[in-house]
Amino acid sequence: MKVLVCVKRVVDYNVKVRVKPDQSGVDVANVKMSMNPFDEIAVEEAVRLKEAGIATEVVAVSCGPAQCQETLRTALAIGADRAILVQTDAELQPLGVAKLLAAVVGREQPRITMLGKQAIDDDANQTGQMLAALCGMPQATFASKLTVADGWAEVVREVDGGLETVAVRLPAVVTSDLRLNEPRYVTLPNIMKAKKKPLETLTVESLGVDATPRCVTVQVAEPPARKAGTIVPDVATLVAKLREEAKVIS
């Protein structure tokens, strides 16, 4: 079966972003960019499905500017077979991305489409669910274990309170949680091999999709700063402060 895996290029998770002085957004110029960590887990899982003999082909897809090619090359270095870039410099929001991905799903007809559960920049946690809805497919979100057999995928999901297991009929959309797997390190030989793998570029127009943003970002501001605290010398002082100053314990 074919597995499609969707990846996003985001500001690296270790970077502390700064809000622009004019409050129009965060400053991403000259900031290290990487593959969204949840997507890396999704790619790893897709490649493991191939190594287990379940998947026959792994196709990576990304939507965004030309630089997303680097993100796709990373997916190819992890072990994806080929890549598709839906190239656009326009702003994309989750519904627009879900529509573009739905068009790619229509072309590629994967049995499983994997995504990360959320991107660490917009923190929306929407695209996988929206894609499943647009394709009329079931969804298994926040997956921490995936087992595929007999046209169904059994997925352990991380939910409030513990774990839940659901079975979804294929074709289906699966979004990965952090504990689905430990992504492998990309080796230099695999990076070299990835350069030779096919990368197809599509346009939004060629997919016939209206991906216009629906929301307008009016302002992006710094979160309210916490005022500096105090270092207490010992436990006795700490308890006294919590009782008498903060009044949060009895």
Partner 1 sequence: MLAEHDNAVLLAATRNVITAALQAAGAVDVLVVGSGCAAVAQEAAGIAGVGRVLLADAPHFEAGLAENVAPQVEGLARGYTHVFAAASSFGKNVLPRVAARLDCAQISDAIAVLGPDTYSRPIYAGNAIATVRCSDPILCITVRPTSFGAAADGGAASVEAVAAVPDAGLSRFVKREFAKSDRPDLAGAKVVVSGGRGLGSAEHFRMLDTLAHRLNAALGASRAAVDAGFAPNDWQVGQTGKIVAPNLYIAVGISGAIQHLAGMKDSKVIVAINKDPDAPIFQVADYGLVADLFQAVPELIEKLG
Only segment of 1-9, 11-19, 40-48, 195-203 that touches partner 1 (CB under 8 A): 11-19
What is the rounded CA–CA span in Å between residue 5 and residue 46? 7
Mode of pairing for the β-strands spanning 33-35 and 57-64? unpaired
Place of tokens 């990576």: 60
Q: Phi/psi at 233 (nearest 5 deg)?
A: -75, -30
What is the rounded CA–CA span in Å between residue 235 and residue 194? 56
- Residue of 141, 181, 207, 209 interacting with partner 1 (CB under 8 A): 141
- Residue of 168, 194, 202, 207 interacting with partner 1 (CB under 8 A): 168
Only segment of 54-62, 76-84, 193-201, 217-225 that touches partner 1 (CB under 8 A): 217-225
> Is 50 or 241 the residue whose CB approaches partner 1 more closely?
241
Closest distance of CB 206 from partner 1, Å: 21
> Is 79 or 96 the residue whose CB approaches partner 1 more closely?
96
Fill in the DSSP letter of residue 171.
S
Closest distance of CB 41 from partner 1, Å: 11
Instruction: State CA 74 to chain mean position distance.
Output: 14
Both tokens of 57, joined, read: 């082909």
Only segment of 39-47, 59-67, 84-92, 129-137 that touches partner 1 (CB under 8 A): 129-137
- Residue of 94, 104, 111, 112 interacting with partner 1 (CB under 8 A): 94
**112 is a site residue for partner 1 (CB under 8 A):** no
25 contacts: CB under 8 Å, gap ≥ 6: 19, 217, 220
- Residue of 90, 163, 191, 192 interacting with partner 1 (CB under 8 A): 163
- Residue of 86, 95, 101, 105 interacting with partner 1 (CB under 8 A): 95
**DSSP for 9-29?**
EEE-TT----B-TTSSSB--T
Number of residues that bind partner 1 (CB under 8 A): 79
Question: In one letter, which amino acid is 57?
Answer: E
> Is 7 or 119 the residue whose CB approaches partner 1 more closely?
119
